[in-house]
Amino acid sequence: MTISRELFIRNRLGLHARAAIKLVELAQSFEAVITITNGANSATADSVMGLLMLDSAQGQKIMVSAKGQDAQSALIAVTNLIEAGFDEDN
């Protein structure tokens, strides 16, 4: 079963390289497959290059989906990271 949540990119620089690396490191700590979707484009959260190709800027709406054994925990953790602006000073 896949679970999803719609989120907004809050940090000023959007999903840039440093933020993407944080997201990849977090995603790799879970068994679940985490997918980020921005419009018609999607990428798994374990690929920095894939995440950068989504070109997600501040204020954009994205969909985060998780599927697998610990999908609920993964979705909560990724949501917390994104809603905290990737722990950057906004």
Tokens at residue 16, please?
A: 């840039």
Q: Judge whether 16 counts as a catalytic residue.
A: yes
Place of tokens 């497959």: 33
Strands (E) located in the chain: 2-8, 33-38, 41-44, 61-67
- Exactly one of 4, 5, 10, 16 is catalytic; which is it? 16
**What residues act catalytically?**
16
